[in-house]
Structure 1
Amino acid sequence: MTAQVEFRGLRRVFGKTVALDGLDLTIEPGQFVALLGPSGCGKTTALRCVAGFERPDSGAVLVDGEDITNVPANKRDAGMVFQSYSLFPNLNARDNVAFGLRVRKVPVATRRAKAGELLELVGLPAHADRFPHELSGGQQQRVALARALALEPRVLLLDEPLSALDAKVRVSLREEIRRLQLDLGITTIFVTHDQEEALSIADRVAVLRDGRLEQCGPPAEVYDRPATPFVAEFVGTMNHLAGHVSGDKVTVLGQLLPIDGAAPGAAQVDVLIRPEAVQVTPADDGRAEVLAASFRGASVRLRLALAGGEVLADVPGHEAARLGPGTRVTVRLVERPVLVAERTVTAPAPQSVDADAV
């Protein structure tokens, strides 16, 4: 009930828009991979190519080494859950789940029993006789998930299935989806533009941009060691600090830090720093000032003013009481390799700081 999925040089063009531009990606059996990226990056098109709803202009989709590019959608052994639920309004939950089994002419007793098992699996055994309009959004999405699993597909495809739900339900259901995926061991491809969603539940996160793969790796690797400036910007929040390159190191905020990856040819660069890598200490003679503090649960995000601009810093919640607006502070960066990019005049002003401002 699990399979390897491979995108091999996948290209798909709609008019003048290139949705996929030579996408190469391999998803191992039983893995949960999130396709992450901004609108228009090609993630849903890639998913639809696996499902058989889109046919690439070139390249191939392989499942366990078999080219299924030209196989009809109903022969692909893939289950898909859509953003819009797509339940039949005239069928109750049990019959919605059993619909695919009915199409395959599975005996009534067998399909009712299977539907009951799946509703139990998604936590809705008491809702079997309810119609879609009698279910909440989260419950409808659970029914849609059970329906996708009814035919025991080798690949489960999830196209932003949580985007229409409120925040609390989203968190609960994404954890439920992950639990089911681990229990069943099914290869799963999850499309989302929500970085928190991708990082919290996927085995690997594939970041797409303009139809190409920018990086694919475990969530911690994508976050902590982004392969490109685009990944660094898209996954999480980044400060842009002006730096000066010397050899394989860069001077930023008066500190000399190693460069992560190859050093650029330009001497003046943007240094990309996560807010949690900015260390803040109250000091009467500090050259930075706290402008604002935003509560974020376990941490507080500070907006700091330095001589050349502003910078964001995340500090533990218990330290925030002594770092209120107006507090003078010193700023240091965590000693670790940093990602740099060629300096641009269009770098976001609120997060751009001159190299000599300490």
Structure 2
Amino acid sequence: MTLLDTRTGASVEFRALRREFGEVKALAGLDLSITPGELVALLGPSGCGKTTALRVLAGLENADSGEVLVDGSDVVGVPANKRDMGMVFQAYSLFPNLTVRDNVAFGLRLRGKPAASRHKRAQELLELVGLDSHGPRYPHQLSGGQQQRVALARALAIEPRVLLLDEPLSALDAQVRNQLRDEIRRLQLRVGITTLFVTHDQEEALSIADRVGVMRAGRLEQCDTPAELYARPATAFVAEFVGTMNHLPGVIAGDDVEVAGCRLPLANRGTRTEGQQVKVLVRPESVSLDPSADGPVKVTDHSFRGAVTRVTATLPDGTMVLADLPSVSAVDLVPGTSATVGFGTRPVLLATES
């Protein structure tokens, strides 16, 4: 058996999933479908329900109501050890008294696999995660990143239908986290396993997932590709939560909004009335600044970031605005420069009404 012989991933579906802890609604009717072999990341603030959703799928938490379907069959009520799920947590949870190879093969031993086949499988997985020479070592002889690779290999060894990753990288330093993030994605694509990845890290979610689901108060605000989620957020909450966003003062003008002398099309006027003062959400890359001797905007900071330079400027009313500009066109926008400002032509969102 080779790694490429493993079966394709399972479909997963949450239907109207509810879970309450006292008065706290951890899941308030969650609906989500994951296609076979897809990696979906759940992202959201603390307490939004993302980890509860993963634990319900794993069988570590019971839902109050709703369905959890794996390949079309409801697994609510099925014990966790019968669900055929592989799990990797923030804590590595390796057995300190077992070698790396035996840690990886542990699940196979529980399933009664012969020693020769489980050792062969463990070696295949260690090669997959780049630790083929580390089999005889013990966990304390490995770095944090290596230990997490072993935990991932152990989860994959049993050929689970679904792989569940609960903040698996948050205990690692930034450089190792980035390397292992890319490694997880490579492995997931190679093995073709359906994966649910829970994280609080926006960059992590956007860089690793086929789709990202943004959760809020136990519900899914939007689930879309990273590019679509960033460029076309469905709600003001998603727009504000994902990426950097300017909050600029504006005034409702018909179907548009006026911001710093510019009239912009609106995506979500809602119940706002003519002339109402609002906060307008604009991405830094949608802001343009052009040097002008009599421009009403003043540049206050200039931060070179390689191909992009982040320029901070102050609008006539004192509001600070961030602009991410190509570095080649931002060389003259040094602190003290006067400039004019623009915000593109795409419809903008208004901040959530308080």
The structure-2 alpha-carbon separation of the partners of 1:133 and 1:227, relative to structure 1 and needing over 3 Å to count, comes to same
Residue of structure 2 equivalent to 1:319: 329
Residue of structure 2 equivalent to 1:142: 149
The structure-2 alpha-carbon separation of the partners of 1:343 and 1:18, relative to structure 1 and needing over 3 Å to count, comes to closer
For residues 224-272 of structure 1, the C-alpha deviation after alignment (integer angstroms, 9 at most, x for no partner) is 1111111011001111122222332222222222222454433322211
Following superposition, the deviation at residue 177 of structure 1 comes to: 0.8
- Select 1:58's aligned residue among 43, 65, 74: 65
Is the 8 Å Cα contact of residues 247 and 351 (structure 2) preserved in structure 1?
no
Residue of structure 2 equivalent to 1:336: 346
Amino acid at match of 1:289: K
Residue of structure 2 equivalent to 1:117: 124
Following superposition, the deviation at residue 298 of structure 1 comes to: 2.8
Q: Distance in 1 between matches of 2:22 and 2:256?
A: 45
SS at 2:133 equivalent: helix
Q: How does 1:263-274 map to 2 (within 5 A)?
A: 263-267=270-274, 268=276, 269-274=278-283
Amino acid at match of 2:295: G
- Select 1:248's aligned residue among 240, 245, 255: 255
- Select 1:279's aligned residue among 263, 274, 288: 288
Which runs of 5 or more structure 1 residues have no equivalent in the other structure?
Answer: 345-358
SS at 1:8 equivalent: strand
SS at 2:81 equivalent: helix
SS at 1:129 equivalent: coil
255-264 vs 120-129, greater mean Cα deviation: 255-264
- Select 1:77's aligned residue among 76, 84, 104: 84
Matched, 1:307 2:316: yes
Instruction: State, as a whole percentage, how many aligned pairs show the same letter.
Output: 66
Residue of structure 2 equivalent to 1:90: 97
Matched, 1:3 2:10: yes
For residues 133-170 of structure 1, the C-alpha deviation after alignment (integer angstroms, 9 at most, x for no partner) is 11111111110000000000110100011111111111
Amino acid at match of 2:69: L
Is the 8 Å Cα contact of residues 248 and 263 (structure 1) preserved in structure 2?
no
TM-score, scaled to structure 1: 0.93
Amino acid at match of 1:167: A
Q: Distance in 1 between matches of 2:280 and 2:140?
A: 52
Residue of structure 2 equivalent to 1:290: 299
Q: Distance in 2 between matches of 1:157 and 1:240?
A: 36
Q: Distance in 2 between matches of 1:181 and 1:174?
A: 11
For residues 269-297 of structure 1, the C-alpha deviation after alignment (integer angstroms, 9 at most, x for no partner) is 22110011000111221111111223334
Residue of structure 2 equivalent to 1:17: 24
SS at 1:270 equivalent: strand
Is the 8 Å Cα contact of residues 264 and 341 (structure 1) preserved in structure 2?
no
Q: How does 1:44-55 map to 2 (within 5 A)?
A: 44-55=51-62
Is the 8 Å Cα contact of residues 289 and 327 (structure 1) preserved in structure 2?
yes
Following superposition, the deviation at residue 57 of structure 1 comes to: 1.2
SS at 1:291 equivalent: strand
SS at 2:105 equivalent: helix
Residue of structure 2 equivalent to 1:354: none
Matched, 1:182 2:192: no
Is the 8 Å Cα contact of residues 7 and 26 (structure 1) preserved in structure 2?
yes
Q: Distance in 2 between matches of 1:310 and 1:72?
A: 54
59-68 vs 252-261, greater mean Cα deviation: 252-261
Following superposition, the deviation at residue 43 of structure 1 comes to: 0.5
Residue of structure 2 equivalent to 1:40: 47
Amino acid at match of 2:290: T
Residue of structure 2 equivalent to 1:196: 203
SS at 1:115 equivalent: helix
SS at 1:80 equivalent: strand
Q: Distance in 2 between matches of 1:122 and 1:338?
A: 44
TM-score, scaled to structure 2: 0.94
293-302 vs 325-334, greater mean Cα deviation: 293-302
Residue of structure 2 equivalent to 1:155: 162
Q: Distance in 2 between matches of 1:90 and 1:343?
A: 56
283-292 vs 120-129, greater mean Cα deviation: 283-292
Is the 8 Å Cα contact of residues 264 and 342 (structure 1) preserved in structure 2?
no
Residue of structure 2 equivalent to 1:27: 34
Matched, 1:99 2:139: no
SS at 1:293 equivalent: strand
Is the 8 Å Cα contact of residues 266 and 342 (structure 1) preserved in structure 2?
no
Following superposition, the deviation at residue 49 of structure 1 comes to: 0.6
Amino acid at match of 1:246: A
Residue of structure 2 equivalent to 1:353: none
SS at 1:331 equivalent: strand
